[in-house]
């Protein structure tokens, strides 16, 4: 599901003056720190810590801060996490009506490509789609080599009624969690097969996100730009290639979600005990 390019990973390490050995040492340091943070509900797995280190450019202090936020954000923005277990009917409905999946082949060996597309008009449920995306991010923390993302949002079936469901508050919260909790870096957000009224979204985005992030958003009237991201063998059939269909990719994600059901059930019980948080000196 998450094809990895080990050469690209080691190239990343080298760019930060790291090796496999020094990264493993950093993981041990973070785990040792977590053992002193009695307010946190668990000790994070090595694979997840590795991804947090990568996403935070191997800055130990920043990594600690983001790991703390990963747990505490659930109480600070409960409505974004409540009823987010993939087994629940609202998330199953999103899986049935929306393609929300990653492509196994990373672009240039490092950039994970994520596809979003509604199967039919007037089924857009922004909050539930965000919860599904968070569940997929959780799996990626375990299995992916997370560096940055390319998001392809195909608006073929998105109506004006759908777009009006997206509030400024929702956009701010979603981008905040994406950037400030998971530390995910957006390489490019492509809106493809865009209707004319997407300009309203763009105006809203321009006022709500930082200029550096807004500059990474591209709007296309067709889907031709997707062909630039994959070889023909990997390009989804939906865009004229010989690769997997979006339905195939969605099926892979459904299987992964089932494999991690125990983890999602556990996450429903994870709570930070602020009374045990170490006092700042």
Q: Which regions of the chain are under pLDDT 70?
A: 281
25 domain residue, yes or no:
yes
Which strand ranges, in their side-by-side order, compose the sheet holding 217-219? 98-102, 111-118, 148-154, 186-192, 217-219
Q: What pLDDT score was predicted for residue 281?
A: 64
**Tokens of residue 46, six digits:** 């090595």
| Domain CATH number, residue 112 | 3.40.525.10
Burial of 120 (0-12, 13-18, 19+ CB in 10 A): exposed
Q: What pLDDT score was predicted for residue 207?
A: 86
**Tokens of residue 256, six digits:** 């992964």
Rounded Cα gap, residues 164 and 112, in angstroms: 29
Taking only the tens place, the pLDDT of each residue in 222-248 is 999 999 999 999 999 999 999 999 999
Q: What pLDDT score was predicted for residue 110?
A: 82
Range of the domain at 121: 1-270
275 domain residue, yes or no:
no
21 domain residue, yes or no:
yes
pTM above 0.85, yes or no: yes
Structural domain count, the chain: 1
278 domain residue, yes or no:
no
281 domain residue, yes or no:
no
45: left (phi over 0), alpha (psi -120 to 50) or beta: beta
3-state secondary structure of 190: strand
Count of H-run helices and E-run strands, the chain: 12, 5
CB 1 within 8 A of CB 102: yes
């Amino acid at each position: 599901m998450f094809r990895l390019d080990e050469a690209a990973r080691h190239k990343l390490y080298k760019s930060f003056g790291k090796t496999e050995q020094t990264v493993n040492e950093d993981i041990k340091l973070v785990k040792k720190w977590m053992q002193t943070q009695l307010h946190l509900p668990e000790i994070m797995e090595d694979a997840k810590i590795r991804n947090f280190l990568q996403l935070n450019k191997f800055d130990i202090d920043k990594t600690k801060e983001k790991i703390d936020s990963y747990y505490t954000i659930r109480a600070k923005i409960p409505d974004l996490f409540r009823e987010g277990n993939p087994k629940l009917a609202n998330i199953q409905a999103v899986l049935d009506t929306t393609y929300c999946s990653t492509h196994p082949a990373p672009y240039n060996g490092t950039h994970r490509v994520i596809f979003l597309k509604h199967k039919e008009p007037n089924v857009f449920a922004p909050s539930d789609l965000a919860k599904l995306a968070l569940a997929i991010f959780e799996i990626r923390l375990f299995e992916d080599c997370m560096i940055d993302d390319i998001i392809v949002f195909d608006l073929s079936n998105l109506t004006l009624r759908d777009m009006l469901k997206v509030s400024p508050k929702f956009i701010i919260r979603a981008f905040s969690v994406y950037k400030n909790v998971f530390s995910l870096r957006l390489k490019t957000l492509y809106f493809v097969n865009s209707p004319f009224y997407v300009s309203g979204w763009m105006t809203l985005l321009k006022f709500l996100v930082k200029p550096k992030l807004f500059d990474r958003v591209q709007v296309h009237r067709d889907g031709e730009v997707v062909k630039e991201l994959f070889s023909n063998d990997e390009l989804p059939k939906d865009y004229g290639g010989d690769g997997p269909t979006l339905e195939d990719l969605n099926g892979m994600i459904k299987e992964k979600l089932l494999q991690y059901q125990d983890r999602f059930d556990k996450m429903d019980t994870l709570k930070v005990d602020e009374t045990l948080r170490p006092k700042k000196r």
